[in-house]
Amino acid sequence: MRADSRFQSLEDTFGGRLGFTVPDSHSGYNALRHHLVPYFRKHGAMLYRESVGPLTTPRRVVAALLDGEVDVGPLDSYALDLMLRHDPLLGSRIRIVATTDLAPIPFLVAAAACLDEVVAKLQAALWTFATAPACASLRDRLCLDAFAAVELADYELTLRWDAEARAAGYAKPG
């Protein structure tokens, strides 16, 4: 939310305007719903008078907050880290009022038609990112330390959170 908002907590924003990125976003939609489901169950009704979206990107969520289009909206922590790294004044203009449960960052994928040797070369290059002196500046600009192998099982929570929200009758955050 905006740093100068009258709201002090997430619960204070109930009845206001909630922003979201796109329905197929985990951090900008699914994790948001997962976080709000217990409140939805407790209240037995929608939490916000208006659900504004799709705002498409985390940067657009920030713009909607700062422009007063929404009272609160989700920001992926990595996207926020990048925005704060490259726009340090942003931290004085927004305020974090809640944090969702941890979830894995999106992974990099190659097209099914991509040759195995190309994928292997790309993986090898990414493994050297953490220690390559030539990548030091890039690591700093991207707020990244290294790349890690993906465990597909870690991403099962995305589907589980979606199913839980739908089963609770909370298909769309609002």
Q: Give the model confidence (pLDDT) of 112-169 as tens digits.
A: 999 999 999 999 999 999 999 999 999 999 999 998 888 889 899 999 999 999 999 9
In the block, residue with structure tokens 């920001």: 75
Whose CA is closest to 172, among 48, 16, 44? 48
User: Could you give the percent of the chain with pLDDT greater than 90?
Assistant: 90
Instruction: Give the domain ranges of the chain.
Output: 11-104+155-167, 108-149
Whose CA is closest to 81, among 108, 58, 101, 102? 58
Q: Which residues pair with 51 in a beta bridge?
A: 18
Q: Give the list of residues 6+ apart from residue 1 with CB closer than 8 angstroms, or none.
A: 7, 13, 65, 71, 72, 94, 95, 97
Distance separating alpha carbons of residues 34 and 164, to the nearest angstrom:
8
Distance separating alpha carbons of residues 76 and 141, to the nearest angstrom:
17
- Of the two residues 20 and 108, the one the predictor is more confident about is 20
Cis status, amide bond into 54, omega within 30 of 0: yes
Please give the DSSP secondary-structure letter assigned to residue 28: I
Classify domain 11-104+155-167 at the CATH topology level: D-Maltodextrin-Binding Protein; domain 2 (3.40.190)
pLDDT of res. 49: 97
Q: Provide the phi-psi class of 56: left if phi over 0, else alpha when psi is between -120 and 50, else beta.
A: left
Instruction: Using a cut of 0.85, tell me whether the model's pTM lies above it.
Output: yes
pLDDT of res. 137: 95
- What six digits make up the tokens of 107? 């992974």
pLDDT of res. 107: 83
pLDDT of res. 108: 86
pLDDT of res. 40: 97
